[in-house]
Every structure is written in structure tokens, then in C-alpha cells.
Amino acid sequence: PNDFKIAPSILSADFARLGQEVEDVLASGADIVHFDVMDNHYVPNLTIGPMVCKALRDYGISAEIDAHLMVTPVDRMIGDFAEAGASYITFHPEASDHVDRSLQLIRDAGCKSGLVFNPATPLSYLDYVMDKVDMILLMSVNPGFGGQSFIPGTLDKLREARRRIDASGYNIRLEIDGGVKVDNIAEIARAGADTFVAGSAIFNARSDSDANRYDSVLAKL
Ligand code: DX5
Ligand code: ZN
């Protein structure tokens, strides 16, 4: 793949000025807004929901928004995120009782669908639904927090996911999430990822000058 996309995770942004943060990171060249939804149930942290997604749309953000749902149950959040303007809606298969149905609900709502794999979750969840996913998201940390270290075994899993995508013939993005930094992103790309979530690597590199706040880090990613 050579159609690489950078997806800043706004989990590490300054929530008190979120609209401006998202505007700045997109102006610096980011492609997709990665929107981490945590429910203090499926994962041990609590973040943001559809109202904040809608607020970003109302603020004027037109880039794709990639809603990463770390919630259970999944299904009743799908319509809310579709109405709030999400472009992608991805969920963890363990968090849904009916994975095929949840994928279908996402597409029926007019969004692009995806499955998310925790470090220990097997890719076999894809076996019967490759025709129903637009994105495969591999977690390279255990979900719940930003700022963790990349789990190296994820590189082999990326290669396996890349093989599955290429063999399927479908147009499916392969996204990686967790511990992506300037110094490991090239190796991650060589393993087959085409979409790179980065939270702390981007938002902790905020530049002090007012203009072009994220240009220098995005130029390196
Ligand atoms: C973790 C989230 C990630 C996280 C990535 O559960 O899904 O998107 O914010 O943060 P970094 O890039 O700091 O590992
Ligand atoms: Zn995420």
C-alpha cells in the first residue's frame, strides 16, 4: 500500500480547546480524526461520545472522523455516531454479541465499518465477514489509555492482516493504534499498515509558536 493516512488520536489533545486542536492538526497535514470512545465498562477509562463528535462537525471539521468504539453494548451507539457525523465506526468483536449484525448496522447507517483487534484477539473473527469491513484496526497496546508502548508482536499480526486483505481482493484499510512514534512508523508501514493512529506522539509535540502547531511532527510521521 502507498496511500498512507495519519489519524491523530484526539485522546491526547487539549479537550478544553478541542475544535482548535483538531483544526490545527488537520492544517498541519493529518488526514483522519481518530476519536476514542471509552465507557468505563469495556475499558477502564471514560472519554467522549456522540455529542462531542457532533460538536466537531458543527465547529466545521469536514475531515473523516474515525470513531473507535471501546464500549459494550455496541449496537445502540451506532445510530448515534452515524447521526453525529462519524465516517468510520469500528468496534471490538468481543464487545458485540452479534458481530455480523453490528457490521451491517454500521453500513446501513451510511458509515464505513471496521473491526478492532486487541493484542490477544485472533484475526479469525474476520473469517466470515471480510466482505462487510472497510477497515481492520489492530491494537498495538491494550486499549484504555494513550501513551503506552508499542507491543512488538503486533508487527507479525500486521503482516498476517495484510495477507488476508490482499488475498480477499477487497478495498480494506489496515489501521494500527497504540505507541506509534516517529522512530517506529516506517517499520510499521513495512509490515503492512496504511493508516496510522498517533496520539501522544503528535499532541505532546505541540510547538510553542502559534502558527503551524503540528507541522514539525507531522512532517516526520
Ligand atoms: C487506546 C486508544 C488509542 C490511543 C493511542 O485505547 O485506542 O487511540 O489514544 O495513543 P498513543 O498514540 O499515545 O499510544
Ligand atoms: Zn483508538
Domain housing 154 = 5-220
Q: What is the mean pLDDT of residues 115-142?
A: 98
Count of domains for the chain: 1
* Sheet bearing 195-198, strands edge to edge: 5-8, 195-198, 173-177, 135-139, 112-117, 88-91, 64-70, 32-38
Atom of ligand 1 nearest to the CA of 144: 6
pTM of the model: 0.97
> Is the CB of residue 92 below 6 angstroms from any atom belonging to ligand 1?
no
Ligand nearest to the CA of 114: 2
Determine the distance separating the centroid of ligand 1 and the alpha carbon of 21, expressed in angstroms: 17
- The per-residue pLDDT for range 2-53, each reduced to its tens digit, is 699 999 999 999 999 999 999 999 999 999 999 999 999 999 999 999 999 9
| Whether residue 208 has pLDDT greater than 80 | no
pLDDT at 206: 85
CATH number assigned to the domain comprising residue 55 = 3.20.20.70
Rounded CA gap, 134 and 63, in Å? 17
Q: Is residue 144 lining ligand 1, measured as CB closer than 6 Å?
A: yes
Identify the residue whose C-alpha is closest to ligand 1 atom 1. Answer: 143
pLDDT digits (tens, 9 = 90+) for 151-166: 999 999 999 999 999 9
